[in-house]
Structure 1
Amino acid sequence: MSVTSRRLLVFLSGGPSDIPEIHEVESEVIEDRLKIPRGNGYEHFEFTRGFKDVGDVLMPVYRWSYRTAIAE
Structure 2
Amino acid sequence: MQQPIRVMLSGGPDGSPPTWEVESLESETRVRVLRGNGYEHFEFVNNYAECDGELLPVYRWQYRTYIAE
2:50 is equivalent to residue 53 of structure 1: yes
On the 8 A contact 1:7/1:24 being kept in 2, the answer is no
Aligned length: 67
2:39 is equivalent to residue 38 of structure 1: no
The TM-score with structure 1 as length reference comes to 0.77
Q: For 2:43, what is the secondary structure of its paired residue?
A: strand
Mapped to 1, the partners of 2:39 and 2:68 lie a distance apart of 10
The TM-score with structure 2 as length reference comes to 0.79
2:61 is equivalent to residue 64 of structure 1: yes
Deviation at 1:20, TM superposition (A): 2.8
Mapped to 2, the partners of 1:59 and 1:5 lie a distance apart of 17
Structure showing greater radius of gyration is 1
Query: Aligned ranges for residues 24-35 of structure 1 at < 5 Å?
Result: 24-25=20-21, 27-30=22-25, 31-35=28-32
Mapped to 2, the partners of 1:49 and 1:5 lie a distance apart of 21
Stretches (4+) displaced over 4 A? none
**% identity of equivalent residues:** 48
Query: RMSD in angstroms over aligned alpha carbons?
Result: 1.9
